[in-house]
A and B are shown apart, each in its own frame.
Chain A
Amino acid sequence: MTKTAQTPLVEIKDLSIAFGGIKAVDNASLDLFPGEVVAILGHNGAGKSTLIKILSGAYKRDSGQIYVNGEQADINNPRDAKKFGIETIYQTLAVADNVDAAANLYLGREILTSIGTLDDAAMEAEARKVMGRLNPNFQRFKEPVAKLSGGQRQSVAIARAILFNAKILIMDEPTAALGPQETEQVGQLIQQLKKDGIGIFLISHDIHDVFDLADRVAVMKNGQMVGHARTEDVTKDEVLGMIILGKCPSGATPGPGAMQNA
């Protein structure tokens, strides 16, 4: 990935947000290129989920800019984010448990018939097409999502994002709730999405979950960006040092949160 040759899909610049005087995100900057997977790491409370919620429109930033494809993006709510092709798969999966899988895929953007009623047949057919690509074993389109396994629910949430031409996918702890086999499945999914040129942010507090999936890691601590590095330039231990101490290794580009006299 040659950074200079391309416009980043997303560029976050000097983003800050405070809750009651506590700076949850403090001057954070980060970028993401097409077909790239960037893992955002940090302890619980490091600010990674908050940063990503600003990008997905769930929180409104206090200051800073977001650029999508080089153009400034004014993101104030989830609908704005979707307009820019940013789709989020939340840690607590944002699916309506009592509604079936096909309906969940189209929630908020239903296909309607010519007289304005729900076209369930068309939605199910489209859902089968997308799911056929992502998770061919999935067949339970007419069951409430509550009855599905964690991996299946994850597939539904991802399919939902893909269905709406997501260019930028944010996955919050994508494998935290999954068994080994399902984690493997999500890994394959991510490879598939990369091939389609989709940029992915993976959020995790566990480096082992995401290190092998990511092209780059970005580490946050106390709301600040410690630094970022290409995964081939750093070891897991060095990244752990970034997470725990805020110590930036030589292979990484330091940010404002890096330990100063390291």
Chain B
Amino acid sequence: MSNTTQNPSVMKRLFGGSGVGTTVLILLVFYVLLLVTFSLLSPFFMTVRNMTSISSNIALIGLMAAAGTPLIIAGGLDLSVAAVAGLTGVIIALLHAAGIPIWIAVLAAIGIAVVVGIVNGVLATYLRLNPLIVTLATMSIVTGVSLILTGGLSKPLIVDGFNWIGQDRILGIPVPAILMLAVYIGLWLLMQKTHFGRYAFAVGGNPDASRLIGLPVDRTQIALYVMSAVSGAIAGTVLSAMLGAAAPNAAGPHLLTVIAAIILGGTSLQGGRGSVWGTLVAVLILGTLNNGLTLMNVTSFWQEVTRGVVLILAVGFDGLRQRVA
């Protein structure tokens, strides 16, 4: 009996084993190469101003992708997250316009996200519907509701004591980036240090065995659908605070980037494997890529193409990893 991993490497300890650490490392190297390349190609890239702007943008995508990662690890999938982000801004703006205190409005919007998460979760678990279709449907419903509520127009949302969460900086770091980092640390602790996280891995890796063992398979997944929706709601709150307005479909175009980031980050679409840090580095890469291409005067039309190509590459790598593992 060979004994190769008596002392798991630091990477494994940090990222939770099974080649995930290696994936994160490779992505980090790629990220650094990307930074170097764009610094050489554009004098505007490595500036404080540009880096700050990237990090706010990245924070948005990062927040939406955050809880999606544990959800996919546990064998679920949430396409409605960006739509929920949009709805969140709309609810906050409308409630605030109706005279409700801003933070109560935020809580109410998060509450609605929780309901969407429960609906997604119950349909995908107890009713055994395909999560891809379920959340595609709720995405459409939620987007539709946002459009109905606003008549398709954006609503101004400039409120004392609110917009700072999207616009201010603490010690030079944009608040959204700090929020995002806090969410990622929280999720990492949840996944690596709690029994809930362990269930998520087991449930995604082998749902049938998990059921036989007596793990609460459905409840674990539903909780993760709710967390995904809530992370969408947090992203939506930050986005509306950043823009000073709530646009019903403001976050929609980011959905593909969100999913691409999760997969590129080493989370397996088959479930059972992945890490939030992988997602975070992938978000950095994709955000930087977008920004770099913009600085190099590549039109946003081409960026749309790039996003699709990156998604295919990410899924391709995922498939490759499955076969190698």
Binding site for B on A (CB under 8 A): 56, 58, 77-79, 82, 88, 90, 92-100, 103, 107-108, 110, 112, 116-118, 137-140, 142-144, 146, 152
In the complex, the answer to whether A140 meets B214 with C-beta atoms within 8 Å is: no
Chain A hits for B211, CB < 8 A: 78
Assess A97 versus B214: contact at CB under 8 Å? Given A107-B198, A118-B198, A144-B18.
Answer: no
Q: A94-B212, A96-B210, A144-B18 are in contact. List 13 more A-B contacts (CB 8 A).
A: A90-B209, A90-B212, A94-B209, A96-B201, A97-B209, A97-B272, A98-B202, A110-B195, A112-B195, A118-B198, A140-B1, A140-B3, A142-B17
- Report Cα–Cα, A56/B213, bound state, in Å: 10
Residue B193 at the A interface, CB < 8 A?
yes
In the complex, the answer to whether A139 meets B209 with C-beta atoms within 8 Å is: no
- Report Cα–Cα, A79/B216, bound state, in Å: 10
Query: Which of B1, B206, B210 sits near A137, CB closer than 8 Å?
Result: B1
Assess A79 versus B214: contact at CB under 8 Å? Given A97-B272, A98-B201.
Answer: yes
Q: How many A-B residue pairs have CB under 8 A?
A: 89
Chain B hits for A95, CB < 8 A: 206, 209
In the complex, the answer to whether A142 meets B8 with C-beta atoms within 8 Å is: yes
Q: How large is the interface on B (under 10, 10 to 19, 20 to 34, 35 or more residues)?
A: 20 to 34
Q: Mark B138-176, 1 if CB is under 8 A from A, else 0.
A: 000000000000000000000000000000000000000
Closest to B204 in A: A98
In the complex, the answer to whether B3 meets A139 with C-beta atoms within 8 Å is: yes
Chain B hits for A98, CB < 8 A: 18, 201-202, 204-206, 272-273
> What's the nearest-Cβ distance from chain B to residue A120, in Å?
9
Residue B304 at the A interface, CB < 8 A?
no
> What's the nearest-Cβ distance from chain B to residue A245, in Å?
34
- Report Cα–Cα, A94/B203, bound state, in Å: 12
Q: Mark B186-225, 1 if CB is under 8 A from A, else 0.
A: 0001001111011101101110111111110000000000
In the complex, the answer to whether A118 meets B194 with C-beta atoms within 8 Å is: yes
Assess A92 versus B8: contact at CB under 8 Å? Given A78-B213, A98-B272, A112-B195.
Answer: no
Interface pairs A-B: 9 shortest CB-CB = A98-B205, A96-B202, A98-B272, A78-B214, A94-B209, A117-B193, A110-B195, A94-B212, A139-B3
Chain A hits for B198, CB < 8 A: 99, 103, 107, 110, 118
| Interface set, chain B 276-314, CB cutoff 8 A to A | none
> What's the nearest-Cβ distance from chain A to residue B198, in Å?
6
Residue B5 at the A interface, CB < 8 A?
yes
Chain A hits for B192, CB < 8 A: 118
Binding site for A on B (CB under 8 A): 1-3, 5-6, 8, 17-18, 189, 192-195, 197-199, 201-202, 204-206, 208-215, 272-273, 325
Chain A hits for B2, CB < 8 A: 140
Closest to B268 in A: A98
In the complex, the answer to whether A107 meets B5 with C-beta atoms within 8 Å is: no
- Report Cα–Cα, A58/B197, bound state, in Å: 24
Query: Which of B5, B194, B209, B273 sits near A116, CB closer than 8 Å?
Result: B194
> What's the nearest-Cβ distance from chain A to residue B220, in Å?
11
In the complex, the answer to whether B194 meets A107 with C-beta atoms within 8 Å is: no
Query: Which of B5, B193, B325 sits near A118, CB closer than 8 Å?
Result: B193
In the complex, the answer to whether A100 meets B1 with C-beta atoms within 8 Å is: no
- Report Cα–Cα, A58/B193, bound state, in Å: 29
Chain B hits for A103, CB < 8 A: 198
- Report Cα–Cα, A231/B18, bound state, in Å: 46
In the complex, the answer to whether B195 meets A100 with C-beta atoms within 8 Å is: no
Chain B hits for A100, CB < 8 A: 17
> What's the nearest-Cβ distance from chain A to residue B275, in Å?
12
Chain B hits for A97, CB < 8 A: 205-206, 209, 272
In the complex, the answer to whether B5 meets A143 with C-beta atoms within 8 Å is: yes
- Report Cα–Cα, A78/B197, bound state, in Å: 21
Chain A hits for B18, CB < 8 A: 98, 144
Chain B hits for A110, CB < 8 A: 195, 198
26 A-B pairs within 8 Å (CB atoms) are namely A78-B213, A82-B214, A92-B209, A93-B209, A96-B205, A96-B206, A96-B209, A96-B272, A97-B205, A97-B206, A98-B18, A98-B206, A98-B273, A99-B198, A99-B201, A107-B210, A110-B198, A116-B194, A117-B189, A118-B192, A118-B194, A137-B1, A138-B1, A139-B3, A140-B5, A142-B6
Chain B hits for A116, CB < 8 A: 194
- Report Cα–Cα, A97/B1, bound state, in Å: 19
Chain B hits for A77, CB < 8 A: 214
- Report Cα–Cα, A77/B218, bound state, in Å: 14
Closest to A103 in B: B198
- Report Cα–Cα, A95/B202, bound state, in Å: 8
Chain A hits for B208, CB < 8 A: 92, 94
